[in-house]
Amino acid sequence: MIEGDALALPGIGNYTGAAILSIAFGKRLAVLDGNVARVLARLGAIRGDVRELQRWQALQDSADSYLDPLLPGDWNQAMMELGATLCTPKSPQCLLCPVAKFCEGRKLGIAESLPEKRKKRANVEVTLAAGVFADENGWTLLLPPPEEEGPLVLADYVPTLVSRLWHFPTVSVTGDPSAKLRASLRKLVRGSRNGNLHFVPAGKVRHTVTYRDITIVPFRISVKKLPRIKDARRVPLRDVSSVLPVSNLTRKVARAVLAASAPR
């Protein structure tokens, strides 16, 4: 039960969950982060991009097989420490490494070149539009983290950009941002007079996530009373992260809307 509860928390993924559960509760879960992946790649002389999905899963299987079932927390900390202090990205200290005699990468003389560098992916430009409801008391609405499976409320959503965090209603756009956002909100806020909502643009926000160069166009939607949206939560617009976990992108959008509406 503890395992399921921990992994269900926003912002807690497989790596963080395994670290917390193994160290604090003795759960038999192997940690796999960049340091551990480097150690395993060198031990097994694994070539190619370790972040590639199948290769990463193979590394996770290796980490699971090496895990000490009696002391999983200590083992995970030792593996992470080994990668951070001895099996470093550059100039690994193989002579001091306690597992050097088992390292296939060292035997082949390729340890320092592993893991192989990832091929840089060409940048992709993404344009998004965000709707920021604001009532007379300064409250706004955030939507819950998108589900990993099943249809999303907004079909044009970009879930990887909000991760497992709370966020403003956001859609990808190629044409008129306000028109696309209004059409999407019509599906989200059913039964409301969506056509009467007044969209006030709040400039543009720039953001980068891995290979994506994002331009987000936020709109302030002033209302007397916040609409009812399934599973949405009320938060203060001036401090959207005070109650719920949000991304830096969401904070940028909130700041842009506040700046645009501030008296000049």
- CATH number, domain of 103, equals 1.10.1670.10
Q: Are residues 149 and 79 in the same domain?
A: no
On whether both 133 and 92 belong to a single domain, the answer is no
Residue 32: what residue type? L
Residues 156 and 254 in one domain: yes
Domain count for the chain = 2
Structure tokens at 137: 């008391």
Classify residue 146: in a domain, yes or no. yes
Residue 118 lies in a domain: no
Do both 165 and 240 map to the same domain? yes
In a domain, 17, yes or no: yes
In this structure, the answer to whether residues 47 and 138 fall within a common structural domain is no
For position 40, what pLDDT does the model report? 97
In tens digits, the chain (264 residues) has pLDDT values of: 456 666 667 667 888 989 999 999 999 999 999 999 999 999 999 999 998 889 999 999 999 999 999 999 999 999 999 999 999 999 999 999 999 999 999 999 999 999 998 777 788 888 999 999 999 999 999 999 876 543 334 434 454 555 678 999 998 888 899 998 998 888 887 655 555 788 999 999 998 877 788 899 999 999 999 998 889 999 999 999 888 989 888 999 999 999 998 765
Q: Is 227 left (phi over 0), alpha (psi -120 to 50) or beta?
A: beta
Q: 186 and 210: one domain?
A: yes
Cα radius of gyration rounded to whole Å, the chain: 23
**Residue 94 carries which DSSP code?**
G
Q: What is the pLDDT of residue 7?
A: 66
What is the model's pLDDT at position 2? 57
Cα distance between the two ends of the chain? 53
Where does a domain end: 57, 85, 113? 113
Q: Could you tell me the residue range of the domain that residue 88 belongs to?
A: 2-113
Give the span between the Cα atoms of 255 and 264, in whole angstroms.
16
DSSP lists the bridge partners of residue 235 as 140
- Contact at 8 Å (CB) between 212 and 235? no
Q: Output the domain CATH number for residue 203.
A: 3.90.79.10
Do 108 and 139 lie in one domain? The reply is: no
d(CA 240, CA 218) in angstroms, rounded, equals 15
pLDDT at 154: 42
102 & 150 share domain: no
Instruction: Indicate whether 234 and 133 sit together in one domain.
Output: yes
Residues 166 and 49 in one domain: no
Domain stops at, among 113, 142, 173:
113
| Within a domain: 119 | no
Please, what is the Cα angle at 3 between 51 and 73, to 5 degrees?
70
Residue 6 lies in a domain: yes
Same domain, 99 and 149: no
Which of 94, 113, 132 is the endpoint of a domain? 113
Alpha-carbon span 35 to 78, nearest angstrom: 11
Residues 31 and 99 in one domain: yes
